[in-house]
Structure formats: C-alpha cells, structure tokens
C-alpha cells in the first residue's frame, strides 16, 4: 500500500521554514487567480499544454499533482503564481515552496517523458498590471531526480508513520463493533442509511428524534465505511458547542474499545479562544510564537500526534511546550487528523478553511452536519454582506491622500442613493449600479495601496476594506437568491435627505452557495430532530434533487408525553394583553397539579417580562427564574443549574434562544413546557421582502410557509423536545395559541405525539 501525497502538500511539509507571517497583503481571489492563469496560458504557443497530470513513486510514497503548464517547443515547465502589488511582497518562505513545487514537477515530467533535461520556470503574474516575471532554472534529469528523492526522504519517515497509522486504523475499523453492543430503537435504521450514503457517495437528509443517539448513530457507520470507500477524513460540523462536545465524547467512546482504531480527533476552536497573544500581530517581528514557527513546527506536530484526543487543552499544552502558536498548530493538525470537529463555518463559509484544504489536497471526505435545521439561518448570515456608511466615514477620516478620491467618490454615490429613498427601509430588485461601481473602485484602490504600504490591523481603512470586499463579492453574484436593501439611519441627522444608511446584500436562499460544498465531499449527511418538511430544506439548502430523506421512528411512546392545545388563547401581538392572565393561571394550575421543573417559552423578551411580572403578582408562591438578554456563559449555566432532580419552579425563556435546543434535562430535571407562541418570525419589511423572494422562487403557495410557518414550527418542536429525553421520562407540553388547532400546523408536529 502506497501513501499518496499531493505535490503541494509534500513541498509545504519539506520546504517551509522560518516565521509564521500573516500580515495582511491583498491577494488575488480564486477567480482572479484562475483568470491570471488563463491569461498566461493564452500567451503561449499552440503546442502549450496546461494542467499536466503527473505522478511518481519513491519507495512507499506516491506523489501526484497537476503542473500548470509545459511548453514542449522551449522544453519549459511552468509553475504560475498570481500576486498583487510589488513582486517583493511575495515572501521568501513562500518562494522556497514555489521553487520546490516547480522542481518536483520538473522531475515528474522528465520521468514520464524520458527527458534528459528541462527548463523549470516560476511565472509570477500581477493580476492588476498583467505583467509577467519569469524566473528560469535549467536542470538535468539526474539533478531533479536527486531533489525529488531528497524531498521524499524528508517526508518518508513521516509518511511511513502515517501509512502505518492509516493501515492500523482501517484494520481496526473493519473489525470495530458498535460500542454499546445493541443499537437503540431507530438507531440501527439511521446507521444503515448513513453507511449506504457513504458507500454510494451521495447526500442524505435524516430526521431522527432525541433519545436514539444520533451522534454515535451517524459517526459509527461513517467510520465503518471509511476503509472500503477510501475516506481520508470525516468532518463533524455543529452549530453549537454542545453538539461538538457530544461528538468528541462519542469518538472517545469509539477510541476506548478493546480493539481501538486510535482515531486522531481534532476539535477546532476559534482564534479568539486560542490566541495566546491577542494584542500582538501574527508575524515574527511582533509575536514570539510566530517567530521561527515553521522551524519548531515538526517537533510540535510530532508531540501533538502522540495524543488521540486533540482538544483545545491538549493542543495548547503542546504548543506551549514547543513555543508555537496553538491556533496555527491546530490548523496544521487538520492534515493529519482522522476526524475534525468544528463549527459549520469551517466548511460552509465563503472562505471556509476545511473546504479549501479539501480542494487543495484532493482529500476524499465525508461531512456530518449536526442539527442541520440550523444551517439555513447560519448559511444566510455567511452569505450576507452589510456596508455601514459610518464605517466609510471613519475610513475617509483616516485615509491617506492616495485613497481620498475613491472614498469620496463612493460617499457621493452613496448619498445620491440615500436622497432618492423616501422610506427608512427599502428593498430593490438589483444592487444600485452606481454604488457598486464606486465600491469596486474603492476596493481596488485600497488593494493597490496596501500592496505597496500594508496597513496596521486596527486601521479604519482596513476594517472598511474587509466589509466592502465581502459586500462587493456578494453584490457581484446577486440574483433571485438574495435581496438588496437600504436602511436609513435615525441617528444624528437633521434632514432625511442627508441621513446615512446601511447597505445590505441579504441572502434569502443559501442553496446556490452550498451546492459546491456537497459536490466537493464524497458524502454528506444532514441530520436533526426537526428536518421537515423535507422539500423546504432540500430547496433552501441546495441539496441534489435525488437526495433521500428518512424519518427515523422515535423510541418514545405517546403515553410518555401529554400534549395539550390551549386553543382559547391568542398570542398574536394585538392580543397579548388579553393572553397574559390565562397563561399565568394555566402555568400555576399545572404546577399545583404536578409540582416540579418547567420551562415557559415566549416569543420575545418583552412578552416574557409581562408574563413573569403577572406571574409574580397573581401566583407569588410559584418559584420562577428568567432568561435575560445577552446572558453570558456563567449566567446561562446558573439558569440551567436550577433544574435539579428535586427542584421546583418555572424557568422562562425566549423561543429560539439559548434554552430551546441543545439543552439536555432528563428525568425530573424537566417535566413540562409551556409554549406560548407559534415561533413565527416577526412580520416586518425585511421578512415580507424575503417572502416575496420565496414566492418568486417556489410559488406563492409556498412563500408564506417557507418564510414564516416552517421556521417557526421548527423552533416549537425543538423547544418541546427538551421535555422527553429518555425512554423513561414522562412530561407535559402545553401549546398555547388558537392556531395550534389548524390541521396544517398539527401536521408539522412529531408523528409520535398524541395531541389533546
């Protein structure tokens, strides 16, 4: 068995040295890089070959990749690199890697075509000026073969270790038994569906209730499928820390088996949680952990991989021992991990690291998306870009003279748009062409300036640049999946005509952006307790039309949960005053009949305050505690700590907030819930425009449901799901609103419920 490695990965491993240097310099976008390569190849002769597939073997190491170009007339192999600004801005440690790649490709070309020698060229292409700088070396085949052997030998001892790890891992996975012996009810059905998805290389939507062990029920079959399908890695993606924690625990359980596969499990943490010196810039002249980072990396990497559980404390301790940055050590460890656990954004964001690495290193990956109902809103935020005029004002004030003209031009175009707008908020059919052109001009000017004179991290011009770049890229991809809207400010203005505003390219349907992510993965499994109606998620998330959907039977009995509709109360905004007394009296009556711990869910903090105030007034003997806006981690922990086996009282929370999903309170820690809302998003100008976009895309018969009903009921079912967590729990859920009588609404409730 050979260990396969991409040319890029080989050279980055063997040739990188010196400092970690992440000072921002404008780099070409992916599209600009592709366009730059096209310009270079377009200038070559008719015999010029592009994307030349090459591979070569050294001992147990298979090296493969695609050389950018080869000119058989000049006998010149070319590695093309795009850049902005001055060529001197391409750092030395990057150039060393570039030359290593070019020489390895040179050897592979000589070997495949029987060449005695070849000209090896680095072509640096400025994407702005379209100027080429061609650096050429001439090598004979034996010299290139010696260089290739040297790189392979440097990598080979590591590769042998990695190959042994993978062989041992795969052998253990083939024999691996389910850690808990027997599957739970429904868990086997889920596991079989996931295994087949990995085997066939496709996507799967799985609605699976709490209590069947979804996390292990999806991880285990993917691990079992890995040897046969040749999976390199599994990415477990979650919306919240609780989901990541469950995944880490499940993988610990797998690794604790007698014939353990020794899985390397990396828990990716955000930079702001791992940076040792947040006040310092990420380069060797500022941060001591960046200085000589790549020189100390090999020892740190080797030490880290002595551990199977690569969580934040383990990575940080290793990084401290070797004096390297823990955040970038964890990024390096992605390459050598079997399972990577992280947030959605690591794979689905526009600049997602796991997606980019999968593409660059040609990995075969499977992706698990935990609580996938959250991906709709999360992806909308990922692909929404706002541009605040206050940010432009700060940039104009701080800008050097060279940037004044372009920023002033943008200010004039922006003000002209504001003056045409009569209402505070307005949506448009397209991004204002004049404003977009001015944003593009300003972004281009800042890019060119920074290519010559990098700006400090705290510079307002740099902050504006990042906002404008995101806005511009989304505006350039504007279509029926998005809105362009303008919101005029109410702050510090004397006249409506002079009011500043916020521009927003607002994503409504993330499907066009997510489709490429599914295509890049061998298999993707999206699972949740609330993933229906299936067509809503298939449409909005951009899943292939043939994606199967399974609804795993719940392990619970209807007798465990009394579901009561309170249909004589309306919680609509106009009826809230009249709803207060019936709600608090209902809670008090239920509490008197069966004292214990309850959760009460309301649609807003204002509604929560009104209900809790009246509760204290009319029923002071019932203990209550409240969720408050902006609760920090200790405050949330204190809220949940009130739910003990012997505790009694009612915790009031906002539906869709921190306590309506991802909270596990089994047994008598929670015996009931009151849900005084349908959870529908607020009817406002933004949501109404989103509804119109849904109408146009999916038909008027679906627009309301896609915008309001389905997202609202998903929150209701998630909140109610806090009550029954095990096959032994018993509880009560009160659904308080007359709209719960409607057949369409009831059709969105779990099948196993018996609603009174």
Which residue spans within 26-155 are E strands per DSSP? Answer: 49-58, 61-71, 76-83, 117-126, 132-140
Q: What's the CA gap between 38 and 130, in Å, rounded? A: 11
**Which of 220, 196, 193, 211 has the alpha carbon at shortest distance from 549?**
193
Beta bridge partners of 119: 76, 138
- Helix/strand number for the chain, H first, E second: 27, 24
Lowest-confidence segment of 290-294, 373-377, 530-534, 729-733 by average pLDDT: 290-294
Note the pLDDT tens digit of each residue in 664-697: 899 999 999 999 999 999 999 999 999 999 999 9
Residue 389: band (very low, low, confident or very high) from pLDDT cuts 50, 70, 90: very high
Residue with tokens 């597939």: 53
The percentage of the chain sitting over the pLDDT mark of 90, rounded to a whole number, equals: 77
Determine the 3-state secondary structure of 563 from DSSP.
Answer: strand
Supply the mean pLDDT for the chain: 92
Q: What's the CA gap between 694 and 702, in Å, rounded? A: 7
Q: What are phi and psi of 607, to 5 degrees?
A: -65, -40
- Mean per-residue pLDDT for 173-188? 89
| Helical axes 141-175 vs 214-229, angle rounded to 10° | 130
**212 within 8 A of 194, measured Cβ to Cβ:** no
Note the pLDDT tens digit of each residue in 49-106: 999 999 999 988 999 999 999 999 999 999 999 987 778 777 777 889 999 999 999 9
Please provide the DSSP assignment of 412-434 as one string.
HHHHHHHHH--SSEEEESS--HH
What domains can be seen in the chain, in order of their start residue? 3-156 (3.90.320.10), 179-263+363-383+510-555 (3.40.50.300), 385-508 (1.10.275.40), 558-746 (3.40.50.300)
For residue 374 the two structure tokens come to 């959250």
* Torsion sign (Cα): 59, 61, 64, 67: negative
Q: What's the CA gap between 505 and 695, in Å, rounded? A: 19
pLDDT at residue 27 in the model? 67
Lowest-confidence segment of 27-36, 249-258, 483-492 by average pLDDT: 27-36
pLDDT at residue 190 in the model? 96
Q: Is the pLDDT of residue 174 over 90?
A: yes
- Mean per-residue pLDDT for 190-209? 96
Note the pLDDT tens digit of each residue in 696-723: 999 998 999 999 999 999 999 999 999 9
Q: Decide the pairing of beta strands 76-83 and 61-71.
A: antiparallel
pLDDT at residue 494 in the model? 44
Distances from the Cα of 441 to the Cα of 93, 412, 438, 654, 679, angstroms = 32, 13, 5, 44, 43
């Amino acid at each position: 068995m050979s260990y396969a490695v991409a040319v890029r990965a080989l050279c980055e491993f063997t040739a990188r040295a010196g400092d970690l240097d992440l000072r921002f310099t404008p780099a070409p976008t992916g599209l600009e890089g592709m366009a730059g390569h096209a310009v270079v190849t377009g200038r070559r002769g008719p015999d010029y070959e592009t994307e030349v597939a090459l591979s070569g073997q050294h001992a147990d190491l298979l090296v493969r990749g695609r050389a950018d170009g080869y000119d058989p007339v000049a006998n010149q192999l070319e590695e093309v690199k795009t850049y902005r600004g001055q060529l001197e801005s391409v750092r030395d440690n990057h150039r060393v890697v570039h030359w290593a790649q070019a020489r390895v490709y040179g050897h592979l070309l000589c070997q495949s075509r029987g060449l005695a020698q070849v000209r090896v060229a680095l072509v640096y292409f400025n994407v702005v000026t379209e100027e080429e700088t061609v650096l050429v070396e001439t090598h004979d085949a034996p010299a290139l073969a010696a260089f290739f052997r040297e790189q392979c030998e440097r990598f080979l001892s590591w590769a042998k270790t990695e190959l042994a790890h993978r062989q041992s891992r795969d052998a253990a996975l083939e024999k691996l038994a389910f850690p808990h012996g027997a599957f739970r009810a429904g868990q086997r059905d889920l596991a079989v569906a996931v295994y087949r998805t990995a085997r066939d290389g496709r996507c799967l939507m799985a609605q699976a209730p709490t209590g069947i062990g979804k996390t292990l029920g999806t991880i285990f079959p993917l691990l079992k499928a890995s040897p046969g399908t040749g999976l390199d890695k599994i990415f477990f993606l979650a919306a919240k820390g609780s989901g990541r924690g469950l995944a880490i625990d499940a993988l610990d359980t797998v690794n604790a088996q007698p014939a353990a596969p020794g899985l390397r499990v990396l828990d990716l943490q955000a930079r702001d949680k791992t940076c040792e010196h947040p006040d310092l810039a990420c380069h060797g002249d500022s941060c001591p952990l960046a200085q000589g980072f790549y020189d100390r990396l090999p020892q740190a990497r080797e030490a880290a991989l002595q551990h199977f559980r690569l969580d934040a404390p383990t990575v940080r301790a290793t990084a401290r021992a070797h004096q390297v940055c823990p955040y970038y050590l964890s990024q390096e460890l992605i390459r050598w991990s079997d399972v990577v656990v992280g947030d959605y954004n690591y794979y689905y964001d526009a600049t997602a690291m796991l997606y980019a690495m999968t593409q660059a290193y040609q990995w075969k990956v499977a992706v698990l998306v935990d609580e996938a109902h959250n991906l709709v809103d999360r992806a909308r935020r990922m692909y929404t870009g706002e541009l605040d005029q206050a940010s432009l004002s700060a940039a104009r004030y701080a800008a050097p003279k060279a940037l004044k003209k372009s920023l002033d031009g943008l200010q004039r175009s922006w003000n002209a748009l504001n003056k045409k707008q009569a209402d505070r908020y307005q949506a448009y059919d397209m991004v204002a062409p004049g404003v977009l052109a001015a944003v593009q001009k300003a972004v281009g000017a800042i890019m060119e300036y920074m290519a010559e004179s990098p700006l400090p991290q705290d510079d307002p011009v740099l902050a504006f640049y990042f906002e404008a770049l995101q806005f511009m890229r989304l505006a350039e991809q504007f279509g029926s999946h998005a809105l362009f809207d303008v919101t005029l400010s109410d702050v510090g203005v004397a006249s409506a005509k002079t009011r500043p505003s916020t521009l927003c390219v607002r994503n409504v349907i993330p499907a066009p952006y997510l489709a490429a992510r599914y295509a890049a993965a061998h298999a993707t499994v999206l699972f949740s307790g609330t993933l229906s109606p299936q067509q809503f998620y298939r449409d909005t998330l951009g899943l292939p039309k043939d994606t199967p959907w399974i609804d795993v039977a719940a392990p619970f009995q209807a007798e465990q949960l009394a579901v009561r509709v309170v249909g004589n109360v309306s919680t609509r905004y106009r009826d809230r005053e009249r709803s207060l007394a019936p709600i608090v009296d209902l809670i008090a009556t239920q509490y008197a009949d069966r004292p214990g711990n309850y959760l009460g869910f309301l649609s807003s903090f204002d509604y929560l305050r009104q209900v809790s105030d009246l509760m204290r007034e009319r029923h002071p003997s019932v203990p209550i505690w409240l969720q408050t806006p902006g609760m920090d981690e200790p405050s949330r922990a204190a809220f949940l700590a009130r739910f003990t086996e012997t505790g009694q009282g009612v915790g009031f929370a906002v539906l869709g907030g921190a306590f309506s999903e991802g909270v596990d309170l089994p047994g008598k820690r929670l015996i009931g819930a009151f849900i005084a809302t349908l959870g529908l998003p607020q009817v406002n100008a933004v949501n109404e425009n989103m509804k119109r976009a849904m109408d146009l895309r999916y038909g008027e018969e679906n627009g309301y449901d896609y915008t309001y009903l389905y997202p609202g009921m998903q929150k209701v079912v998630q909140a109610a799901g806090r009550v029954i967590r095990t096959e032994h729990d018993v509880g009560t859920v009160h659904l308080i609103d007359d709209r719960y009588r409607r057949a369409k609404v009831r059709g969105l409730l779990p099948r196993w419920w018996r609603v009174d």
